[in-house]
Amino acid sequence: MLSTDRSLPNTGHRYVPQITSLDIPPSPNQELLPLTAKVNSSDNLEIGGCELRKLVEQYGSPLYILDEFTLRTACSQYRDSFTTYYSGESQVIYASKAWSCLAVCRIIDSENLGFDVVSGGELYTTLEAGVDKDKIYFHGNNKSVTELEFAVEVGCTIMVDNWLELKNLVQIASAKSEQPVPIMIRLTPGIECHTHEYIRTGHLDSKFGFDPNQLDEVFTYLSQQESLSCIGLHAHIGSQIFERQPHQDLASVLVDWMKKAQGYGLPVTTLNVGGGLGIKYIESDDPPSISEWVSAVSKAVENACNQAAVPLPKLIAEPGRSLIGSACVTAYTVGSRKEIPEFNTYIAVDGGMSDNPRPITYQSVYRAVVANRMSAPITEEVTLAGKHCESGDVVIKNAALPKTEPGDILAVMDTGAYNYSMASNYNRIGRPAAIVVYEGEANLIIERETYHDLIEQDRLPERLVKHQE
C-alpha cells in the first residue's frame, strides 16, 4: 500500500491534511491533490510515483496527469459505501461527460461501475472501451433519431427526457426491437440548490426532463406502450453541490413518484438520484465525503420507502466530478511575465481556456503549486493567464505563488472533471496529451494534437483551389 508524506511546503495554506499512510485513503473529493501526491528528495512533486518535471520532459506541456489510484479509490468508496449504507440493490454509474476516453472508461469499468452517456459519441466511446450494454444508460435532452436508433440497436437503457423523444422511441422500438426497450423517465424535481446557475438542473425552469405536472399523462401513455418497458425514474439537481438536504429531498420525491408509477401498473423498481456531489477546488471548499453523501442519500431513500410502504428500489447514483475531478492535475510551463506596477503581475502559461474552459465559463477557481520547487516560499500574488487571444483567458485570478521563472512547471489541481471533456481548439491550439500514472509507471492515454490534426477535418473545395492557381 502506498505511503506518503503529503504536507506541501510551498503552498502557504494547508492544501492537504498531514496524513502519512494511505491504508485508509481519505475521500478524494475532499482533497486538493491526488492521493498519491508527495514531494521527493529533489523538491519535486510526484504523483503516482512519477515526477511531474520528468513527465513534462517526456510528454510535453501542457499535460493532463491522471492518478489511477485516486480514481480507483473514488470508485471503490462509492461502490462500497452503497453496500454499507443501502439495504437494497445499488449501482454506481459514471457520468462520462466529466471525461470520456477509452482509458478512463476502461479503468472505471474494471471497478464495476456503470456509465451515463449523453450522446452517440459518448455511447460509442464506452462501447469501444468494452463496456457491457447492460451497464450503460443513455441520457440527453435532445437525442436525435439516429442516436435513439443506435441506442436501441445496442440495447442499453434509455433515459427518456421529453415527449418528442418518447414518441420517436415508440416508433423505433416497435420497428427495431423484438423485446420491449428498457427506459427510465427523467423528471424535473423542482428542487433548488446552491451552485452556479449554468450547472443547476433540478429547478422547475430547466430544459431537462418532463414537468412533474405531466406525470399522470406520461404514466398513462407509458402504460399503453408494449414496445417500451419503463423500469425506473431519474432526476438530477445540479453539479458541484455541498449541501446534503437537496439530495435527501430528491430521494423522497422520487419515491413518491415511483409509488405513483406503480399505481399505473408500470414496472418501476429503479430510482436514479443523479450525481452532483462537489469537490474541493480551494481550501475553503468543504464538501461531504463520498461515504457521507452515499449514507445521506441511502437513508433518505429507505426512510421515504418506509413511509410510503413500498419495497426498496434498485438505487442508482451517477457521479462524475466527485469520481474523477481530484484525480488529475494539469501541468503547464511558465512563460512570459508582465508586471504592471501597483496593479498586477501576469504570469502566462502555455495553455488556458482551450484545455480548461471552466474559469472563463463559470468563474471557477483553482489552485496551483510550483511542481519543480515545492518548498519555495510563497512571495507573490499574480494573475495566472492563459495564452489565448482573450482577456478573460485566466487560469487563476489571484494565484499565491513563489516567484516563478520561465520554464517552471505549474501543477493546477483538480482538473479531472469537465476539463479535457470541454476542451477546444480555440486559436488553433492543439489539445494537450493525457497520461495515466500508477505506481511509478506513466502511460499515454490521449495523444497531443498536432498541427496536422488541426487541419485534418478541413476541406478545400475545388473552386477555391482553382481560384488560387
- Does position 293 interact with ligand LLP (CB under 6 A)? The reply is no
Q: How far apart are CA 256 and CA 307, in angstroms?
A: 10
Vertex 263 angle, CA 258 and 266, to 5° = 70
- Taking every pair of Cα atoms in the chain, the longest distance, rounded to a whole number of angstroms, is 79
- Helix ranges restricted to H, 68-144: 68-85, 102-110, 120-128
Cell matching residue 152: 436501441
Handedness of CA 250, 223, 153, 209 (dihedral sign): negative
Stretch touching ligand LLP by CB under 6 A, among 218-226, 316-324, 346-354, 460-468: 316-324
Task: Provide the minimum distance between the beta carbon of 258 and ligand LLP in the complex, in angstroms, as a whole number.
Answer: 18
Alpha carbon distances (Å) from 243 to 202, 237, 285, 286? 14, 11, 12, 10
Number of residues that bind ligand LLP (CB under 6 A): 24
Which one of 8-16, 79-87, 270-278, 424-432 is the stretch in contact with ligand LLP (CB under 6 A)? Answer: 270-278
Q: Hey, which residues between 449 and 468 contact ligand LLP (CB under 6 A)?
A: none
Phi, psi (rounded to 5 degrees) for 54: -70, -35
Give 236 or 387: the residue with its C-beta nearer to ligand LLP.
236
Are 192 and 206 in contact by the 8 Å Cβ rule? The answer is no
Q: How far is the CB of 457 from ligand LLP (least distance, A)?
A: 24
CB 48 to ligand LLP: min, Å: 23
- Select from 246, 275, 416, 432 the one that contacts ligand LLP (CB under 6 A): 275
Question: Are 45 and 9 a contacting pair, CB within 8 Å?
Answer: no
Min CB(209)–ligand LLP separation in Å: 9
Supply the minimum distance, in Å, between the C-beta of residue 41 and ligand LLP: 37
Stretch (H or E) spanning 228: strand 228-234
Only one of the segments 39-47, 127-135, 275-283, 388-396 lies at the binding site for ligand LLP (rule: CB under 6 A); that segment is 275-283
The answer to the question of residue 402 lying near ligand LLP (CB under 6 A) is no
Indicate whether 414 belongs to the interface with ligand LLP (CB under 6 A).
Answer: no
Q: In whole angstroms, give the CA distance from residue 451 to residue 453.
A: 5
Cβ atoms of residues 319 and 92 within 8 Å: yes
Write out the three cell numbers for 26: 481519505
Query: Closer to ligand LLP at the Cβ: 95 or 251?
Result: 95
Q: Is 199 in the site for ligand LLP (CB under 6 A)?
A: yes
Among 25, 319, 359, 386, binds ligand LLP (CB under 6 A): 319
**Residue 197 grid coordinates:** 446557475
Positions in 206-265 near ligand LLP (CB under 6 A)? 236, 239-240
**Least CB distance from residue 118 to ligand LLP, whole Å?**
7
The catalytic residues are 389
- CB of 138 closer than 8 Å to CB of 151: yes
The only residue of 276, 351, 402, 432 in contact with ligand LLP, by rule CB under 6 A: 276
Query: Please, which residue, 127 or 323, has the CB nearer to ligand LLP?
Result: 323
Nearer to ligand LLP, 11 or 91 (CB): 91
Instruction: Answer whether 66's CB lies under 8 Å from 35's CB.
Output: no
Q: What is the contact mask toward ligand LLP in residues 57 to 96, using x (rule: CB under 6 A)?
A: --------------------------------------x-
Buried (b) or exposed (e) across 402-415, using 16+ Cβ within 10 A?
A: bbbeeebbbbbbbb
Read off the DSSP letter of residue 180: P
- Residues 112-141 vs ligand LLP: string with x where CB under 6 A? ----x----------------------x--
Decide: is 322 part of the binding site for ligand LLP (CB under 6 A): yes
Q: Give the bridge partners for 181, in sequence order.
A: 228
Residue span 355-374 as binding mask against ligand LLP, x where in contact by CB under 6 A, dash where not: ---x---x------------
Binding flag, residue 321, ligand LLP (CB under 6 A): yes
In angstroms, rounded to a whole number, what is the distance separating the alpha carbons of residues 153 and 181?
Answer: 10
Q: Which helix (H) or strand (E) holds 336?
A: strand 328-340
Cell 435532452 belongs to residue: 141
Residue 389: CB minimum distance to ligand LLP, A:
23
Binding site for ligand LLP (CB under 6 A): 95, 97-98, 116, 139, 199, 201, 236, 239-240, 274-277, 318-322, 358, 362, 417-418, 422
